[in-house]
Structure 1
Amino acid sequence: MKSHLTSMRVTKMKPLTFVIGLTTAMALGTSLSATEDKIIESHGYSYFGNLDYPADYEHLNYVNPDAPKGGELSLAASGTFDSLNPYSRKGRSGALTTLQYDRLIESSDDSVGQYYGVLAESLEYDADRNYVIFHLRPEATFWDGTPVTAEDAVYSHRLFIEQGLPSYAQAVGRMVTGAEALDDHTVKFTFNPEVTRRSLIETVGATPVFSKAWFEADESRRLDEPRLEVAVGSGPYKLDSYDINRRIVYKRRDDYWGEDLPFNRGRNNFDTIRVEYFADQTAAFEGFKAGEYTFRIESDPKLWATGYDFPKLNEGVVVRDEIPDGSPPTPSGFVFNLGKPQFADKNLRKALALAFNFEWVNESLLFGLNSPRSSFTQGTKLEATGVPEGAELAFIETLGDVVPADFLTEPAVTVHESNSARLNDRRNLRQASKALDDAGWPVGDGNVRRNAEGETLKVNIPYPSNLPTSTATMIETYVQNLQSLGVDASAEKIDPAQYTLRSRERDYDMVYSTRYGSFLSTGGGLSQMYGSEEAAFSLFNPAGLASPLVDAIIEASFETDNQADQDTALVALDRALRYEFFVVPVGYIADYWTAYYDMYEYPENLPPFSLGHLDLWWINPEKEAELKATGALR
């Protein structure tokens, strides 16, 4: 999933890969087989049974299978880190620590909801998905040379249930009733018959697998605690070195057991991946120009428009490249904390949204490079338009009393338009002022809005100090417009570690966030982000959205048994999320903005849902040697 929390430049993310398909596996002639007892055996998994790659596939279609190995990918990160455990509930973990862990199955980047074996060479499950059995590859080993066993997979699953993030642990704990190692290389998961059949197999299959022996060798080792000791993994890269708040270096394993797997052929091409840490985005950009790192994904429209005019770029040493991104955009924006009593009234939230002038921000701060976004599935066939009709209307009418009357008669909510020539669009501010009056928050003493109890209409927006200037300015100007309405509004610039803590504890009135995900299919992840059950604590639901309407649509989407009905339900979900109005949308960019020293190359046909710079790109050794010979590269 691609997002830049520290930037206004809102990229599009890989849609949530729960499940997707077109028809049954037998109709497509895939490699699935079923016995008389309806036990399905396969080299991969998708909910509807379709797999684009047959059992004997040689490599993924979007890789260069002959990509040379070698060299270094060096990247930048801003802020700090105090842990090398990516799954801790506390602290700030270092970048890319998950590179070190394999999974039983992994999703391909040219489809949604298709998974293929990595640690598992095959899987089998009954047609009703009451269980799944994974058959592990006997050649799979951790980097300490010990074999990856079914017991390791069971232990890792239980770690996430007992010590993982509460939203994940609770959701998966409801799904899975049993996990057992049938032998050294066979693991079985049994599922709760009372829950949806969606997201079961891919959830347990995509859990990272750790070494049980490593954890049990020291009882102080926990999944939920920050630490600078790395849990033993079986992945292609291993931590080589680190310097707190300065850099992290990962080295490709010479003895990686899975290098020749069809899923991995043409991937994991760099000998080392280095991450350099900088105090903020400005320092990071200067570091790139100086050659302290060599690959950059730009996230600041101002820099993209004006900053890429320096000698190395003009001399051709650095390449500036816009690469198409096929994913729907991240549904990012200013998120209301719905746990705050002042935001209980949706009409008040809509009034406050009118103070955000996207058109001015785009023209004045972002050089016109962003496009407006209304939908959670923007630009796809799942985007709701107009009033409900046809199959969507019929679906909504089956939901019963949870459907508000105006939901059936009003068009899908779209973003308001503002005057780009001036920040304080007077027409919108007048409309907002009247709506706030009607909502019971008139202007009182000190020109500040208060309710009948004398409480001020408070809106505090914390943001991390390593945000790009354009993003910070966007937040500050939004606050400025809120203040002009008499709102007790403030923006609070804090250090990244404090921001992380406050985000986890939901200690904010409003926050600029990219945590919500777009979707092209259904599954349990929708409940974690948009459902009521984990709304009080889910890190993936920063608004704390708890809507009976949204819940009913998500639950109904789980019950669909064909692509057309699933799509209809998800159009209705997009409509409902917009109806609930818990995010003030900001814009997005349709492409990946990349800049890199002219030695990196990538496949001709990159996958639609990933830039793939970590695992699909490679270094041209002749170009690298030339850069070093001329002194352009250290």
Structure 2
Amino acid sequence: MSTCQLKRKHHPINVLFLLATLLSLVFGVQAEEKIHKSHAITIHGDPKYPADFTHFDFVNPDAPKGGTLRLASISSSGFDSLNPFIVKGIAASGMTALYNNYFYDTLLYHSEDEPFTMYGLLAEQMEWPENRAWIIFHLRKNIHFHDGPPLTAEDVVFSFNLLQKEGHPIYKTYYANVEQVEALDKWRVKFTFTPGDNRELAMIIGQFAVLPKHYWSQHTFNKTSLTPPIGSGPYTISHVDAGRSITYKRDPNYWGKDLPVNRGKYNFDTIRYDYYRDPTVAIEALKAGEYDFRLENSAKNWATQYQGKLFTRQAMVKKTLPDLSRAGLQGFVYNIRRPIFADSKVRQALSYAYDFEWANKNLFYNSYERTDSFFENSEMASSGLPSPEEVKILEPFKDQLPKALFTQPFELPKTDGSGNNRQQLRQALRLLKEAGYTLKEGKLVNQKTNKPFTFEILLAQPEMERVVLPFQESLKKLGIDMTIRQVDAQQYVKRVQSFNFDMIIGGFGQSQSPGNEQRDFWHSSQADIQGSRNYIGIKNPVVDQLIDKIISASSRETLINYCRALDRVLLWNHYVIPQYHINQHRMVYWNKFGQPKIAPKYSFTLDTWWEDPQKAEKIKSLRKKAN
């Protein structure tokens, strides 16, 4: 009997065990290391457009290039910076800090007709494991910056580290779970994430602007500057008139002009932003032909300003488009770092002094709907009583939540619109008394300190004063003295970023797929970081845990339930007094444009429009006759 035969005879169990172990390891590794490679990545499900798609449905792929698009920006102090990535200064319009834009390109592009799908822009392909613990971006090899040098993985790594170290605090928050970034070679860059479920992170890591290392290594990044920097996007900066205007010129040598994500977009040769201090002046400038297009956010202006011969002769167009994007929430925002607003009963009481129904009737031409969710106009918005799924999520926190959250639908105070809101004010006084306040000689005072209830609302937009004045009058009836402080945009930004305010009118925009940005809005870790968007100063452990659940949601259904649960907790803590919203884009423009047949479902952008030569010539002729 041979030695081999002896071994097989005396150790049959060991051989079988070894074979089973090897098979287990092989199949285990294969399951663990299942790698996805694709031109696109989506939060849930599959991308709409295949790898060989030629253009998005919401563009005209044969749109002509040429012409000028002139736009207006409203700001009492103009702009003082071309660096949108830092806290300091006010960046010029057209320069944006997070998503792809005129001047800078990003690794990925967010499709505007899908809830949340990202397609390759700088990256031609992505690869990631099933658990999304990391992602590798394969860069296109023909990318170059405006001044000629190629864009490589080294620039991606440099940009990410620079933004984390010296950029706006939002970058540290948004990308808090990035553990490592490394250039694998000249054209591949890998991002590794901290352990935990965060499906969105592999997608949003593709949203930051990639900056040129060769430029910023020689320039100071963390200060304002009006010197045009270097980018890689479809436009360059051709002219800057400090604080007054900025002009972009389409780059005919733009490396990405023929990409599927760009085809049919960026059609104007020139895009110019002119700055106006006052909206009324800006409207007159529009009608005088000083610029071409305006999105109107004032119900009064929409109802009264756009009529006459220019519109009857169709020289100018007044038009609405459905807005299917998340409305988020706009409202009176408390700074609960202030002791006066630390008690939720006080915050709830003041909400009874805001008469939306009267304001909608007398100020807004009944054009708005009351906002009653932080995820307004979306399936994420809570309503009625909590569903069984929401109860299951919130039950572990029952002792830390208002009892009414589980037993009553959240409802905002409502009036008959007559202006007689005595019933609501009586309810407000009842809550204020429960919170330790009493009326003395017509003034509301704290029973312990005997200090009167006074606070300031900070405004930067003069037109918002008419929204605030009726609220101020109602508060007077409660014995509360609210002063209105108007400041210029620059001072407003500085005070808000340093949380130096009692109350502001603020907004919290939401995406189609809420995720990591919720940290910046509500998480305790951001409450004391100047420049964060936790304006309110929320430090609530329940909110923190729900944010973590949203970020780690494994399915769309789970995400919806966690968002609704978070919505309820935010609403029942009365952190804001919600105002109003509209589910339409209201636009006014000179009739010189061509437009795609299909509008993007989840956003509005002029990037897909173009100048129609025949229409433009007709408008030019009409303007000459008018002059």
TM-score, with length taken from structure 2: 0.90
Structure 1 residue corresponding to 2:503, chosen from 486, 504, 510: 510
CA 1:402–1:129 in 2, change beyond 3 Å: closer, same or farther? farther
Q: Which residue of 2 aligns with 1:608?
A: 601
- Output aligned runs, 1:461-610, within 5 Å: 461-464=457-460, 466-468=461-463, 471-514=464-507, 516-537=508-529, 539-610=532-603
- Output aligned runs, 1:314-333, within 5 Å: 314-333=312-331
Q: Which residue of 1 aligns with 2:230?
A: 232
**Structure 1 position 448, deviation (Å):** 4.1
Matched residues in 2 for 1:447 and 1:311: separation?
53
Deviation sequence 1:277-309 (CA, Å, 0-9, x none): 111101111111111101111111111001112
Matched residues in 1 for 2:498 and 2:390: separation?
37
**Structure 1 position 517, deviation (Å):** 2.2
SS of match in other structure, 1:573: helix
Structure 1 residue corresponding to 2:52, chosen from 46, 52, 56: 56
Query: May I ask how many residue pairs the two structures share in their alignment?
Result: 589
Q: Which residue of 2 aligns with 1:169?
A: 172
Q: Which residue of 2 aligns with 1:387?
A: 385
SS of match in other structure, 1:251: strand
Structure 2 residue corresponding to 1:112, chosen from 92, 111, 115: 115
Find out whether 1:459 has 2:455 as its counterpart. Answer: yes
**Structure 1 position 617, deviation (Å):** 1.0
Aligned residues with identical type, % of pairs: 35
Query: Mean alpha-carbon deviation: is it higher for 44-53 or for 262-271?
Result: 44-53
CA 1:323–1:522 in 2, change beyond 3 Å: closer, same or farther? closer
Deviation sequence 1:485-504 (CA, Å, 0-9, x none): 11121111112211111111
Query: Mean alpha-carbon deviation: is it higher for 301-310 or for 249-258?
Result: 301-310
Q: Greater relative contact order (Cα 8 A, min sep 6): structure 1 or 2?
A: 1
Matched residues in 2 for 1:185 and 1:97: separation?
26
- Output aligned runs, 1:95-244, within 5 Å: 95-98=93-96, 99-172=102-175, 174-193=176-195, 195-218=196-219, 221-222=220-221, 224-244=222-242
Work out whether residues 433 and 485 of structure 1, in 8 Å CA contact, stay in contact via their aligned partners in 2.
Answer: yes
SS of match in other structure, 2:358: helix
Matched residues in 2 for 1:36 and 1:491: separation?
59
Work out whether residues 210 and 231 of structure 1, in 8 Å CA contact, stay in contact via their aligned partners in 2.
Answer: no
Matched residues in 1 for 2:479 and 2:399: separation?
38
Matched residues in 1 for 2:179 and 2:380: separation?
33
**Structure 1 position 402, deviation (Å):** 4.3
Deviation sequence 1:352-385 (CA, Å, 0-9, x none): 1111111111111111111111112234332222
Q: Which residue of 2 aligns with 1:433?
A: 429
1:184 corresponds to which letter in structure 2? Answer: K
SS of match in other structure, 1:473: helix
CA 1:325–1:389 in 2, change beyond 3 Å: closer, same or farther? closer
Matched residues in 2 for 1:55 and 1:280: separation?
47
CA 1:402–1:552 in 2, change beyond 3 Å: closer, same or farther? farther
1:115 corresponds to which letter in structure 2? Answer: M
Structure 2 residue corresponding to 1:406, chosen from 394, 404, 407: 404
**Structure 1 position 398, deviation (Å):** 4.9
Q: Which residue of 2 aligns with 1:78?
A: 74
Deviation sequence 1:45-102 (CA, Å, 0-9, x none): 1233521111111111111111111111111111111111112211211111132000
Matched residues in 2 for 1:49 and 1:227: separation?
43
Matched residues in 2 for 1:55 and 1:225: separation?
41
Work out whether residues 458 and 489 of structure 1, in 8 Å CA contact, stay in contact via their aligned partners in 2.
Answer: yes
CA 1:520–1:624 in 2, change beyond 3 Å: closer, same or farther? closer
CA 1:428–1:399 in 2, change beyond 3 Å: closer, same or farther? closer
Matched residues in 1 for 2:52 and 2:387: separation?
45
Matched residues in 2 for 1:94 and 1:383: separation?
34
Query: Mean alpha-carbon deviation: is it higher for 430-439 or for 349-358?
Result: 430-439
Q: Which residue of 1 aligns with 2:19?
A: none
**Structure 1 position 124, deviation (Å):** 0.8
CA 1:393–1:605 in 2, change beyond 3 Å: closer, same or farther? same
CA 1:35–1:431 in 2, change beyond 3 Å: closer, same or farther? closer
**Structure 1 position 595, deviation (Å):** 0.6
Deviation sequence 1:419-438 (CA, Å, 0-9, x none): 3122x521111221222122
TM-score, with length taken from structure 1: 0.89
CA 1:49–1:40 in 2, change beyond 3 Å: closer, same or farther? farther
CA 1:371–1:158 in 2, change beyond 3 Å: closer, same or farther? same
CA 1:451–1:495 in 2, change beyond 3 Å: closer, same or farther? farther
- Output aligned runs, 1:234-383, within 5 Å: 234-383=232-381
Q: Which residue of 1 aligns with 2:6?
A: none
Work out whether residues 269 and 616 of structure 1, in 8 Å CA contact, stay in contact via their aligned partners in 2.
Answer: yes
Work out whether residues 161 and 170 of structure 1, in 8 Å CA contact, stay in contact via their aligned partners in 2.
Answer: no
SS of match in other structure, 1:459: strand
**Structure 1 position 395, deviation (Å):** 2.8
Work out whether residues 331 and 506 of structure 2, in 8 Å CA contact, stay in contact via their aligned partners in 1.
Answer: yes
Structure number, greater radius of gyration: 2
Deviation sequence 1:605-624 (CA, Å, 0-9, x none): 111211111x1111111110
CA 1:50–1:399 in 2, change beyond 3 Å: closer, same or farther? farther
Gap regions ≥5 residues in structure 2: 1-29, 97-101
CA RMSD of aligned residues (A): 1.9
Matched residues in 2 for 1:144 and 1:508: separation?
43
Q: Which residue of 2 aligns with 1:628?
A: 620
SS of match in other structure, 1:392: helix
Work out whether residues 211 and 231 of structure 1, in 8 Å CA contact, stay in contact via their aligned partners in 2.
Answer: no
**Structure 1 position 103, deviation (Å):** 0.2
Matched residues in 2 for 1:381 and 1:435: separation?
32
Q: Which residue of 2 aligns with 1:11?
A: none
Matched residues in 1 for 2:427 and 2:43: separation?
47
**Structure 1 position 141, deviation (Å):** 0.8
Query: Mean alpha-carbon deviation: is it higher for 251-260 or for 378-387?
Result: 378-387
CA 1:485–1:238 in 2, change beyond 3 Å: closer, same or farther? same
Deviation sequence 1:180-208 (CA, Å, 0-9, x none): 11221111111112x44233212321110
Matched residues in 1 for 2:339 and 2:396: separation?
32
SS of match in other structure, 1:303: helix
Matched residues in 2 for 1:581 and 1:296: separation?
34
SS of match in other structure, 2:580: coil
1:191 corresponds to which letter in structure 2? Answer: F
Work out whether residues 349 and 582 of structure 1, in 8 Å CA contact, stay in contact via their aligned partners in 2.
Answer: yes
Work out whether residues 526 and 532 of structure 2, in 8 Å CA contact, stay in contact via their aligned partners in 1.
Answer: no
Deviation sequence 1:423-457 (CA, Å, 0-9, x none): x5211112212221221121235624334112222
CA 1:529–1:463 in 2, change beyond 3 Å: closer, same or farther? same
